[in-house]
Structure 1
Amino acid sequence: MPQLTLYTAKVCPFAQRAEIALAEVGADFKRYEIDLSNKPEWYAPQVNPASKVPALAYGGPDVPPDEPSPESIKIPESLVLLQLIPELFPESSTLIPKDPIVLAKARLFIESFSNTFIPAYIALLFRGEEGAEDKLRAALDTVIQARKLEGKKYAVSDEFTIADAAVVPFIARAELLLAEDLTKAEAPRTSKFIAEVKADAKYKPFWDYFDLLKDRESFKATWWPDAITSAARSRLAAQ
């Protein structure tokens, strides 16, 4: 297998998608932490012109991560990597369903989540918008209904797939930061909201699903709550 280097950040839910995939396939790779508030000058020109994480350097000579080789192929974007990584290790995980219809359903599940949960997550956590709680409740309903329709253990399958790996970083951060009131909304608005949603029997299927996801070893190995809460406190203090 050609060398792999992942440029990532503990605080970034998009980056955690790629880290979960690498953990699921048991890949041997170099991990390089990018400080998102102070990115290295070489990162954008040599790794990802968009200056975002995650990005994967594939192939080329075995060099230090902070001296990326022009001979390696640099591949950004979390959803691209979430599918590429298991394709590089086709016998190592169930992330990519072998049934093309199930794979299509996984992609649709990710698309739905991206269009509902993530915008509501951003609106509440980073903007404190009025009405964001209703949007987040609606997003939870969407996840519940999608899983109910499939009737599987995970999102679209009885196996853990890219659909599950794509969503768990965002659900985990929402639960953590809302409960700690580490959001743009005035405390205790979000901690009260998350407590109400968890106590509401209507949303039990959603939290049961999340319990399954956060019990994966790949999630546990790539989850840094202390780094996430510390970054949130620093961001709020700066504002």
Structure 2
Amino acid sequence: MASYTNGESNHGDSKGIQPKITLYTNHLCPFAHRAHITLEELGLDFDEVIIDLDKPREQWYLDINPRGLVPSIKYTVPGLYDEEIITESSIVAQFLADARPSHLLPSSLHDPFSPLFRARLAFFVDTWNTKVQGNLYPMMKAEGEEKEKLANETVAAIEKEIEPLLANAGPFFGGKDKPTLAEVCFTVDRMDH
């Protein structure tokens, strides 16, 4: 087992250790896309188990994720982690990005500006999830006046809560030139045709 001092492992070069990742997912679930995009952006290999969302979850999956939701990951690093289960899409994406610092989420250890960027990014994702995300699915399913009302509420929430947080964005969050965890966590909504 590795020990840690000041956030750094004394286990050796952890960059050379490849985690074994099993992704429990469903390709039609927009929230599961967060995990897929993060894994692809980080270039991590993973096994995939498709969960049928049209039927009650089997007990083996409820043992992994008692809520029965996707995505979930099983994350194993020999000598460090033994089959840790991570659930909830934003948390899965955050965990993976923390485990492998990249353009998605820079490490806080070596750059004095990274903690501030990470805090702003976390606030943005939380704001999106709590102020806007909840309106999207009901809005897509609604009809007539209810749909228009929800659409107006969603636009108002975006204008009030999201737009001010994007003042220095371009082309990506925080003025970055590559996608960040902000894009991963807020651009995954799927429109049914």
Aligned to 1:35: 52
| Structure 1: 5+ residue stretches without partners | 62-70, 181-239
Measured against aligned partners, the alpha-carbon deviations of 1:46-90 in whole angstroms (never above 9, x if no partner) come to x111111111111289xxxxxxxxx52211111211111122223
> How many angstroms apart in 2 are the aligned matches of 1:139 and 1:19?
27
Instruction: Determine the structure 1 residue equivalent to 2:87.
Output: 76
What is the correspondence of 1:14-93 to structure 2 with a 5 Å cutoff? 14-38=31-55, 39-45=57-63, 47-59=64-76, 72-90=83-101, 93=102
Partner of 1:146: 165
Residues matched between the structures, number: 161
**Structure 1 or 2: larger helix share?**
1
Aligned twin of 1:166: 185
1:108 alignment counterpart: 123
1:156 aligns with 2:174: yes
How far 1:140 moved relative to its partner?
A: 3.8
Equivalents in 1 of 2:39, 2:175: separation in Å? 20
Q: SS where residue 164 of structure 2 aligns? A: helix
Partner of 1:94: 103
Take 2:91 and 2:156, find their aligned partners in 1: how far apart are those partners? 27
Q: CA deviation at 1:11?
A: 1.5
Task: Name the SS for the 1:72 alignment partner.
Answer: strand
The AA in structure 1 aligned to 2:41 is E
Alignment counterpart, residue 3 of structure 1, candidates 20, 28, 39: 20
Greater strand content: 2
Task: Report how far residue 5 of structure 1 moved.
Answer: 0.2
Letter in 1 for 2:138: A
Matches within 5 A, 1:118-133: 118-128=133-143, 129-130=146-147, 131-133=149-151
TM-score (norm 1): 0.61
Percent of matched pairs sharing the same residue: 28
Q: Is the 8 A contact 1:4 1:58 kept in 2?
A: yes
Checking the alignment, whether the CA contact within 8 Å between 1:7 and 1:34 is kept in structure 2 is yes
CA distance in 2, matches of 1:60, 1:160: 26
Query: Which 4+ runs in 1 deviate beyond 4 A?
Result: none
**Letter aligned with residue 173 of structure 2:** A
Uncovered stretches (5+) of structure 2, i.e. residues with no partner:
1-17, 108-113
**Bigger Cα displacement from structure 2, 154-163 vs 134-143:** 134-143
Superposed CA RMSD in Å reads 2.1
Could you say which residue in structure 1 is the equivalent of 2:11?
A: none
Residue 60 to residue 85, structure 1, CA distance change in 2 (3 Å) = closer
User: In the alignment, residue 75 of structure 1 is paired with which amino acid?
Assistant: I
Q: Deviations over 1:186-215 (max 9, x none)?
A: xxxxxxxxxxxxxxxxxxxxxxxxxxxxxx
If the length of structure 2 is used for normalisation, what is the TM-score? 0.75
Tell me which amino acid in the other structure corresponds to 2:129.
S
Give the Cα separation in 2 of the matches to 1:60 and 1:156: 32
